[in-house]
A and B are shown apart, each in its own frame.
Chain A
Amino acid sequence: MIEFIQATKRYGRSDRNALDHLNLKVGDGCVYGFLGPNGAGKTTAIRLLTGALRPTEGEIRVNGISVAEKPIETKRMIGFVPDSQEMYERLTGVEYLNFMADIFGVSEADRKERAEKYLARFDMTEAARDRIGSYSRGMKQKMAAIGALIHEPPVWVLDEPMVGLDPRASFLLKEEMRARASAGATVFFSTHVLEVAEKLCDRVGIIHKGKLIMEGTPEELLGKTGDASLEEVFLEMTASSQEQA
Chain B
Amino acid sequence: MTRDEDRTMKNYWILARLMLKNTLAGMNPFAASQQAKSKGRSALRGIGMIAILAMAAVSVIFLEHEIFTLLRDAGQAILLPAMAILLSMLMTLVMGLFQTLSELFQGKDSPFLAVLPLTSRQIFAARLTSLYVSELALNAVIILPAVVMYCIGTKAVLPMALTAIPVVLLTPALPLAIVALIASLLMRISFFAKHREAIVMGLSVAVALAYSIGVTMMNASSGDKENTVFLAQALMRKDGMMNMLLQRFPPALWLAKGLTGDWALILLAAAVSVGAAALVIGLCGPGYLAQALSSGEKTVTRGKRVRGETNWRAGSRFAALHSLEWRELLRTPAWAYNALLGVVMFPLMIGIGFVAGFSRAGEGLELLQGLWKQFDPAYVALVTAAVMAMGSMVNPAVSTAISREGGRWPFALTLPVRQQTRFAAKLAVGIEINMVCSLMVMGVCWYLTRLPLQWMLLALLLAMLLAVASAAASLWVDALRPQLKWNSEMEAIKKNFNQVFGMLIWLAFMGLCALPAIFLWKHGGMAALGGSLAVAAVLTALSLFLLSRVTEKHVVLDA
Contacts and interface: CB of A to CB of B under 8 A. Distances in A.
Given A12-B558, A103-B417, A131-B303, A98 B313 contact: yes
Contacts of A105: 317
B306 A112 contact: no
A129 B306 contact: yes
A95 B306 CA distance: 9
**Chain A, interface size: which category?**
35 or more
Given A51-B414, A90-B332, A102 B315 contact: yes
Nearest to B38: A13
A43 to B, nearest CB: 9
A53 B331 contact: no
Interface in B280-304: 299-301, 303-304
B556 A108 contact: no
Interface string B314-346: 111101110110011001100000000000000
B312 A134 contact: no
Given A90-B332, A101-B314, A52 B410 contact: yes
B407 interface: yes
A115 interface: yes
B106 to A, nearest CB: 13
A196 interface: no
B238 interface: no
A102 B556 contact: no
A111 B310 CA distance: 12
A105 B306 CA distance: 23
Contacts of A11: 37, 558
A91 interface: yes
A229 to B, nearest CB: 33
Nearest to A43: B410
Q: Is the interface of B mostly helix, strand, loop or mixed?
A: loop
A158 interface: no
A137 interface: no
A129 B410 contact: no
Contacts of A174: none
B552 A51 contact: yes
Contacts of A92: 303-306
A10 to B, nearest CB: 10
Interface stretch (A81-89, A160-168, A216-224, A237-245): A81-89
A108 B410 contact: no
Contact of A108 (B301, B314, B317, B414): B314
Given A13-B38, A91-B324, A102-B320, A108 B313 contact: yes
A101 B317 CA distance: 9
A75 B553 contact: no
Interface in A80-134: 80, 82, 84, 86-92, 94-95, 98-99, 101-108, 111-112, 115, 128-131, 133-134
Nearest to B323: A99
B415 A103 contact: yes
A88 B38 contact: no
Given A108-B314, A131-B300, A88 B416 contact: no
Given A54-B559, A82-B410, A90 B328 contact: yes
Contacts of A78: 414
Contacts of B552: 51, 71
B353 interface: no
A129 B558 CA distance: 36
Contacts of A87: 408, 411
B318 to A, nearest CB: 9
Interface in A47-83: 47, 50-54, 71-73, 75-76, 78, 80, 82
A103 B416 contact: yes
B320 A99 contact: yes
A106 B316 CA distance: 10
A106 B314 contact: yes
- Among B301, B310, B313, chain A packs the most CB atoms within 10 A around the CB of B310
A82 B412 CA distance: 10
A132 to B, nearest CB: 8
Interface in B415-461: 415-418
B314 A134 contact: no
A99 B558 contact: no
B317 A52 contact: no
Nearest to A119: B310
A94 B314 contact: no
B416 A104 contact: yes
A103 B556 contact: no
A7 B301 CA distance: 43
Interface string A184-223: 0000000000000000000000000000000000000000
5 contacts: A88-B324, A88-B408, A90-B328, A103-B317, A134-B303
What 5 A-B pairs come out closest when comparing CB atoms?
A: A131-B303, A133-B300, A86-B407, A12-B37, A102-B320
Given A54-B556, A84-B407, A86-B411, 13 more contacts: A80-B414, A91-B328, A98-B312, A98-B313, A98-B315, A101-B314, A102-B314, A102-B316, A103-B320, A103-B321, A129-B305, A133-B303, A134-B303
